[in-house]
Amino acid sequence: MKYNRSAGYRLFALFNYVFLSLVALSCILPIIHVLAISFSSASAVTAGEVKLWPVDFTSASYENVFGKPAFIAASWVSLQRVALGVPLSMLLITLLAYPLSKDNKQFRFRTLYVWLLVFTMLFSGGLIPYYIAVKETGLIDSLWALVLPSAVQVFNVVLLLNFFRNLPKELEESAKLDGANHWTILWRIYVPVSLPALATVMLFTIVYHWNSWFDGLIFMNRPENYPLQTFLQVNIIVKDLSQMTAQEAELYFKVNDRTGRAAQIFAASLPILLAYPFLQRFFMKGIVLGSVKG
């Protein structure tokens, strides 16, 4: 049934469209600007001629970036971290969220365990005890130091357990009548119907592992073990020239610093930009349903 919307409603809708469009542009324009700089010549960037389109198009910066063995090695460390850390985190988070999604009649002291987890979100043991714990377990300078300490993110656990709590109880009850145990209920019923929440948690986990740099800085003593974001932190933000070879130092002065930085930043961001569209359709549903406590 059609009806006439008031002038105030149409004005409010127009304001929303304009405002959200401006917000979207404010997010995407810096990325386009960085991409344009990365494909522009050094002289054009120095002269400030590059805005949203490359000037004197060249791929020299990317040839320089991907010609660096250190950049390739750091990218490989990050890929290994994501390939190992994401499945491990998803497994542990799912196994933890399922029992905590039950009520106190099914799982005694469930509320106490949830509050203990929430407590860790508000208070931490501190950086020094954190480092000592990792060091004493012999994880320093190993890939496991980047994976195990952050394997269970409490926020993701809370998100997933609240999604589980919103699932119809009849699903579990009918499965129990057919003789299913908790393992069968979890993997055959809960997981297949929880794809939006699982995809959301997976996206958060991928972004965390790919973008994390501080743990690589404190747990890795050798630069060749740095993940990509730690490598970028050291070589772009701090700019430690002492780690460059003679050939890299010579190339550094030939290629404009801004174009080289832009190429490295965009190359490091590209995997997440490519992965996000495939998970976006699950994202909104998962984040909304998982944040409502049943």
User: 36-71: per-residue pLDDT in tens?
Assistant: 888 888 778 777 788 888 888 888 788 777 878 888
What are the sequence ranges of the domains in the chain?
1-58, 62-290
Backbone angles phi and psi of 143, in degrees to 5: -65, -30
Per-residue confidence (pLDDT) for residue 136, from 0 to 100: 92
Question: How distant, in Å, are the alpha carbons of 37, 39, 217, 272 from that of 25?
Answer: 18, 21, 33, 19
- Per-residue model confidence as pLDDT tens digits over 76-116: 999 999 999 999 999 999 999 999 988 888 888 888 998 99
Q: How far apart are CA 196 and CA 204, in angstroms?
A: 13
Q: 219-246: per-residue pLDDT in tens?
A: 998 888 999 889 888 876 555 555 555 5
CA-nearest of 81, 41, 69, 94 to 223 is: 69
From the list 157, 199, 164, the residue with the least C-alpha distance to 284 is: 199
% of residues, the chain, pLDDT over 90: 23
Q: Do 157 and 93 form a contact (C-beta atoms < 8 A)?
A: yes
Identify the pLDDT of residue 291. Answer: 44
Q: How confident is the model at residue 127 (pLDDT cuts 50, 70, 90)?
A: confident
Superfamily name and number for 62-290: MetI-like (1.10.3720.10)
Mean pLDDT, the chain, rounded, equals 82
Taking only the tens place, the pLDDT of each residue in 161-202 is 988 888 888 888 888 888 888 899 999 889 988 888 898 899
